[in-house]
């Protein structure tokens, strides 16, 4: 009997468990049908789908046993698929469940959230889509309030098919005008043809979400049904799945090129902060690009200038949180990575064309304390045969550190020094901080006196001028969103330029930075200074190291405009220089936001003199390439701390391939000008500089293509080889355009380098030695005097004999490096103008020459001429990959005596030519 009763008990328990399982499977299948209806319904012409969740109260706390089981089902998910329900604050289990969320602790502090949304959670309900003048629109409504303060119960959704590869969605409050980003100087864009759209869209009605697929393969690009949409006055949240874990962008941060998706977060809030991990830095670029693992790619841009936090998780998925503004979302479908960046730049603007001289070497230091010190530095550079185009001064020049002045004692002859530089073919740039000293006696400092009269400064919440503190002491901050401020800024620059004819301006401290929190008087309490949610920022508060969030600007509060301060200053400075000088402006900015490449170059701030910072400068430069800022570089040899000879050599070698090349140093550090090192180190640096200067015609042509076609200059390997799995993750090497592969040494004591060569033939730029790669790493010699650079087969690189300045080098003979493909073909081009005039491409005032190699000859084809190439000649060429010794060489039909051929490397070198670059020429070799 005892055994029988035990058996009965066991059977009863099994039956009970089985009934629960059947009930759970029934519930699970009901939800699975909903999910599948989102993913599997074919979409014809963007049909508005109503995927109604009949259990939309199920996410609320329930007391019944069935309710507990239902919640258990909805809370049963893989930890990496959890979306945080307590992002805004730390919650107890009771508080979490009161939100209708799931609570399930896990071991370890970092990782998946303990409080997370169930698989179904109440949110907005979508009404029908109706046509608008720009696309389609719908109203979203909430039946119940969210857990956020001042949430917005009705939203206006607009869906705009901007182009075949660009979908634009906005979510706004229809009852109240909220701040929306308007990028400065943008021209209205005409709507492009969307007949062959690369995407399809689907909508889940309740709770609202949308899915964007790639039409060609039905891959899900975005799926916002994975977590609820939240929209309150100061907290906007949108989550999406990701098509792969290969995500780049969301700058500016000290990261590798591929972002870490293992439960990390990135805050976009501009801050004066030396680059280091897990910190918000100088710029904000709310754009990311995803490699889809089969050579395809897409990108997403959230046009929002408020503080933004992006949570990344290994699902893979991400969550946007913005603490103001609207959700203004662009989705770029590529289909390849280069097309994604081009589509992004069609929204934010193509980059400006820099002056040719700005591609030369720049030298700066905080600590060149007099004009004579500055003169000696430039003289010693040229005496040691180092190219130097642009001499800089940091704030040492300014009288009492006030901008638009110069010290009468230490820099009394600054105008004369600048003229001396100009006579030597050099240029001169100095620093210009935005903070205007407010404590000079009235009538003694015109920038402040005039600014006061013209009402150009940012105000505090009570309407008085906000006073912060920067280098000159108490300072006022210009409001560059005010047209009158931009005119005043131009007037200040014009007046200063009439005394000191600077060639460009370096706008620093423009996050804006301040040495006091908010203002010298503090900031008022309130939701702008202390919002319900503050993203993780250095200092813990939004006003840390900057202005009060409640500060008033012409367009809106500083709370909304902070991240755009550097962009608006760059716009004003670029415009002023253009009008004052009548030539192509050069502006270098530290702070940045989407679109700054139209007006300015960027440098990566106060990097330290160490090997790690050398290595991370590559992904920093490559990220800015993705953001539409091709003219970018890091402070060579490091700004903070003392460099070493070896580090400085390796940094000069890498820096020779930053599009913007400047050595800059802090006051208290050991000197790091190239001429102070030993002879071997100097020779290595000189070699790198001369290689750069020889390549400037090629670099200038690349920047032309960036300006006119949104091509990248410093290019990640994945952009050029998107279908090559090995190229997807590389950020220790990079390309110039599609032709040059740069493989620098990034570790101390290394004299050989494992470099990845994508599939194809690559030739050493130094001697033409070929490397036939199947897509593999090769061990290359890398002694201290060498940086490995390889030319890709099928490409022709236009070069010019180097000189100590670009003024001189631009007059020198050209030569071509021709890297033949296996079939004996190659192609290249040259863009050439006077290097300094405005809008030369737009006005047709330039030369453009195509070079084609094939059938044992190189031919030039000048497609456009304007006189800029007159008097310039082709002095020679080197052809890589010539299979056998030529019997003879002809230049325009005449035999050439000066040619050599190396059988070991298969390189033909032709010298002593003088073929006019403005005419068609042909160089042939007979095999």
Active site residues: 508, 511
Q: Judge contact between 403 and 447, C-beta under 8 A.
A: yes
Measured CA distances, 313 to 96, 236, 245, 539, 633 (Å): 20, 19, 9, 25, 30
Backbone angles phi, psi at 445, to 5 degrees: -135, 90
> For residues 265 and 111, what is the distance between their CA atoms, to the nearest angstrom?
11
The answer to whether 457 and 466 are in contact (CB under 8 A) is yes
Q: Is-contact 672 663, C-beta < 8 A?
A: yes
Report yes or no: 833 and 810 within 8 Å, Cβ to Cβ.
Answer: no
As a residue count, the chain comes to 927
CB 729 within 8 A of CB 343: no
- Are 503 and 428 in contact by the 8 Å Cβ rule? The answer is yes
311 φ/ψ angles, rounded to the nearest 5 degrees: -95, 130
How many Cβ atoms are within 10 Å of 156's Cβ, its own excluded? Answer: 15
Q: Which residues pair with 391 in a beta bridge?
A: 363, 428
Apex CA 395: angle with CA 393 and CA 399, to 5°?
115
Residues in CB range of 190: below 8 A, 6 or more apart? none
Q: What is the 3-state secondary structure (H, E, C) of 455-481?
A: CCECECCCCCECEEEECCEEEECECCC
In the chain, what is the straight-line distance between the N-terminal and C-terminal CA atoms, in Å?
104
Provide the token pair at 589.
């900015």
Q: Measure the CA–CA gap between 520 and 475, rounded to whole angstroms.
A: 10
Phi, psi of 699 (to 5 degrees): -60, -40
Tell me how crowded residue 99 is: count the other CB atoms within 10 A of its CB: 19
Closest C-alpha among 812, 768, 802, 733 to residue 904: 768
Q: Which of 714, 563, 444, 486 is CA-nearest to residue 478?
A: 486
Neighbours of 709 (CB within 10 A): 11
Strands (E), 650-744: 661-663, 714-715, 734-736, 740-743
Burial of 557 by CB count in 10 Å (0-12 exposed, 13-18 middle, 19+ buried)? middle
Strands 894-895 and 760-764: unpaired
Within 10 angstroms of residue 217's Cβ, the number of other Cβ atoms is: 10
C-alpha span between 540 and 82 (Å, rounded)? 26
Q: What does the alpha-carbon distance between residue 52 and residue 68 come to, in Å, rounded to a whole number? A: 22
Distance separating alpha carbons of residues 123 and 55, to the nearest angstrom: 12
CB 652 within 8 A of CB 664: no
Residue 884: strand, helix, or coil: coil
Cα 571 from Cα 599, distance rounded (Å): 6
Question: Which residue's entry shows tokens 């068609």?
Answer: 920
């Amino acid at each position: 009997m005892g055994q029988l009763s035990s058996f009965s008990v066991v059977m009863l328990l099994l039956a009970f468990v089985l009934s629960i399982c059947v009930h759970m499977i029934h519930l699970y299948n009901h939800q699975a049908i909903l999910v599948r209806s989102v993913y599997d319904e074919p979409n014809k012409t963007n049909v508005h789908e109503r995927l109604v969740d009949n259990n939309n109260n199920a996410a609320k706390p329930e007391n019944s046993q069935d309710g507990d089981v239902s919640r258990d089902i909805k809370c049963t998910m893989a930890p990496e698929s959890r979306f945080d329900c307590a992002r805004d604050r730390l919650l107890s289990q009771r508080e979490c469940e009161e939100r209708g969320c799931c609570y399930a602790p896990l071991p370890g502090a970092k990782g998946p959230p303990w409080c997370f949304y169930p698989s179904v959670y109440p949110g907005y309900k979508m009404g029908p889509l109706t046509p608008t003048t720009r696309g389609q629109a719908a109203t979203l409504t909430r039946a119940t309030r969210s857990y956020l303060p001042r949430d917005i119960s009705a939203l206006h959704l607009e869906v705009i098919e901007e182009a075949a590869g660009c979908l634009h969605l906005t979510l706004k409050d229809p009852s109240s005008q909220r701040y929306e980003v308007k990028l400065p100087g943008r021209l209205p864009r005409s709507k492009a043809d969307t007949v062959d759209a690369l995407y399809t869209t689907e909508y889940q009605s309740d709770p609202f979400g949308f899915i964007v697929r790639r039409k060609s393969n039905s891959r899900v690009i975005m799926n916002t049904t994975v977590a609820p949409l939240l929209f309150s006055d100061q907290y906007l949240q949108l989550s999406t799945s990701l098509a792969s874990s290969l995500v780049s962008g969301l700058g500016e941060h000290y990261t590798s090129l591929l972002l870490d998706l293992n439960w990390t977060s990135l805050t976009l809030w501009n801050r004066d902060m030396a680059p280091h991990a897990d910190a918000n830095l100088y710029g904000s670029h709310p754009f990311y690009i995803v490699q889809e693992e089969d050579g395809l790619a897409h990108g997403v841009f959230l046009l929002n200038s408020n503080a933004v936090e992006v949570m990344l998780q290994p699902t893979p998925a991400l969550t946007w949180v913005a603490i103001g503004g609207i959700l203004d979302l662009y989705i770029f479908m590529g289909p390849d990575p280069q097309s994604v960046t081009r589509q992004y730049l069609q929204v934010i603007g193509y980059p400006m064309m820099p002056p040719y001289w700005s591609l030369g070497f720049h030298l700066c230091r905080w600590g060149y304390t007099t004009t004579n010190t500055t003169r000696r530095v430039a003289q010693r550079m040229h005496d040691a045969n180092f190219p130097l185009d642009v001499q800089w001064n940091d704030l040492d020049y300014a009288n009492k550190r006030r901008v638009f002045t110069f010290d009468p004692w230490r820099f009394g002859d600054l105008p004369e020094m600048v003229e001396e530089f100009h006579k030597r073919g050099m240029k001169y740039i100095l620093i210009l901080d935005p903070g205007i000293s407010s404590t000079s006696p009235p009538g003694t400092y015109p920038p402040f006196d005039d600014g006061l009269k013209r009402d150009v400064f940012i105000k505090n919440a009570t309407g008085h001028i906000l006073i912060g503190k920067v280098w000159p002491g108490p300072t006022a901050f210009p409001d560059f969103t005010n047209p009158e401020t931009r005119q005043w800024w131009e007037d200040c620059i014009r007046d200063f330029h009439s005394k000191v004819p600077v060639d460009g301006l370096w706008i620093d401290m423009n996050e804006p930075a301040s040495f006091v929190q908010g203002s010298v008087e503090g900031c008022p309490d309130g939701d702008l200074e202390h919002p319900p949610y503050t993203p993780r920022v250095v200092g813990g508060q939004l006003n840390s190291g900057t202005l009060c969030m409640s500060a008033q600007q012409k367009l809106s509060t500083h709370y909304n405009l902070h991240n755009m301060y550097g962009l608006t200053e760059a716009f004003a400075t670029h415009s002023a220089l253009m009008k004052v000088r009548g030539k192509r402006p050069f502006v270098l900015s530290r702070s940045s936001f989407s679109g700054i490449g139209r007006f300015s170059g960027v440098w990566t701030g106060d990097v330290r003199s160490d090997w790690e910072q050398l290595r991370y400068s590559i992904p920093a430069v490559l990220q800015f390439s993705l953001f539409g800022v091709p003219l970018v570089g890091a402070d060579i040899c490091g700004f903070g701390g003392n460099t070493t000879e070896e580090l400085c050599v390796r940094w000069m070698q890498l820096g020779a391939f930053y599009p913007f090349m400047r050595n800059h140093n802090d006051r208290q550090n050991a000197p790091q000008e190239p001429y102070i090192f030993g002879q071997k180190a100097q020779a290595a640096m000189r070699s790198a500089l001369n290689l750069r200067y020889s390549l400037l015609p090629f670099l200038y042509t690349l920047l032309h293509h960036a300006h006119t076609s949104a091509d990248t200059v410093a290019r990640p390997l994945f952009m050029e080889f998107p279908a090559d799995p090995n190229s997807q993750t590389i950020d220790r090497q990079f390309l110039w355009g599609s032709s040059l592969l740069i493989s620098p040494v990034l570790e101390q004591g290394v004299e050989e380098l494992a470099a990845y060569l994508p599939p194809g033939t690559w030739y050493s730029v130094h001697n033409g030695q070929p490397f036939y790669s199947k897509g593999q790493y090769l061990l290359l010699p890398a002694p201290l005097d060498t940086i490995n650079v390889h030319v890709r087969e099928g490409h022709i690189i236009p070069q010019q004999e180097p000189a100590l300045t670009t003024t001189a080098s631009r007059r020198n003979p050209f030569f071509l490096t021709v890297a033949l493909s296996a079939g004996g073909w190659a192609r290249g081009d040259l863009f050439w103008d006077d290097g300094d005039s405005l809008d030369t491409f737009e006005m047709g005032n330039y030369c453009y020459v195509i070079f084609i190699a094939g059938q044992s000859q190189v031919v030039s084809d000048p497609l456009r001429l304007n006189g800029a190439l007159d008097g310039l000649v082709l002095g020679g060429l080197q052809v890589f990959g010539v299979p056998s010794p030529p019997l003879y060489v002809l230049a325009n039909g005449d035999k050439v005596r000066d040619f050599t051929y190396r059988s070991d490397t298969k390189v033909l070198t032709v010298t002593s030519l003088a073929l006019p670059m403005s005419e068609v020429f042909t160089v042939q070799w007979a095999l």
